[in-house]
């Protein structure tokens, strides 16, 4: 994984069938990048649904959650609509896994993203990361702790 303190590599991926999201457009907000193996799989389904429920807590920290997998934008559309997600899922589909490779979380053996989390500050600097075993839902505690720590550092520096 990319080291903390590093500027997160910029990228642009499809967030809907015809719109793309560029990471650098989110400067001024904290960003949670949640890489996951695949839509419709039991652990991924639970993880993304948990994060959807945690949305109001992430928003209190001025944080935007983004899910990323190598699934197509069509699969993401169905997965989002089925689960009523309130955050974007980005399709790292073609070239397959290009962004996951940039973030050093692509699994060449399975052809999927590893289950990995990054928290970026408002300037796009990686401030926290976590690589979870593929079959384990990492939950939201680490993310919330990282966001609270960023808020504490910010209030101390003001």
Can you give the CATH number for the domain in which 52 is found?
A: 3.40.30.10
Whether 6 is covered by a domain: the verdict is no
Higher pLDDT residue, 134 or 95? 95
Q: Looking at residue 71, what is its pLDDT?
A: 97
Residues involved in catalysis: 44
- Residue 54's domain comprises 12-157
Q: What is the pLDDT of residues 79-124, one digit of tens each?
A: 999 999 999 999 999 999 999 999 999 999 999 999 999 999 999 9
Whether 147 is covered by a domain: the verdict is yes
Whether 17 is covered by a domain: the verdict is yes
Whether 5 is covered by a domain: the verdict is no
Q: Looking at residue 76, what is its pLDDT?
A: 97
Rounded CA-CA distance 124/142 in Å is 18
Question: Based on the structure, what is the number of domains in the chain?
Answer: 1
């Amino acid at each position: 994984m990319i080291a903390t303190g590093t500027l997160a590599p910029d990228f642009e991926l499809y967030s809907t069938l015809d719109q793309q999201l560029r990471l650098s457009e989110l400067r001024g907000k904290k960003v949670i990048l949640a890489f996951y193996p695949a839509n419709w799989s039991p652990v991924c389904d639970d993880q993304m649904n948990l994060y959807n429920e945690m949305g109001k807590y992430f928003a209190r920290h001025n944080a935007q959650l983004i899910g990323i997998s190598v699934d197509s934008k069509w699969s993401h559309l169905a997965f989002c609509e089925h689960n009523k997600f309130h955050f974007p899922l980005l399709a790292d589909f073609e070239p397959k896994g290009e962004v996951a490779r940039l973030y050093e979380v692509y699994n060449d053996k399975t052809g999927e993203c590893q289950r990995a989390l990054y928290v970026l500050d408002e300037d796009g600097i990686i401030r926290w990361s976590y690589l979870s075993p593929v079959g384990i839902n990492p939950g939201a505690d680490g993310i919330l702790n990282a966001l609270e720590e960023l808020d504490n550092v910010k209030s101390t520096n003001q």
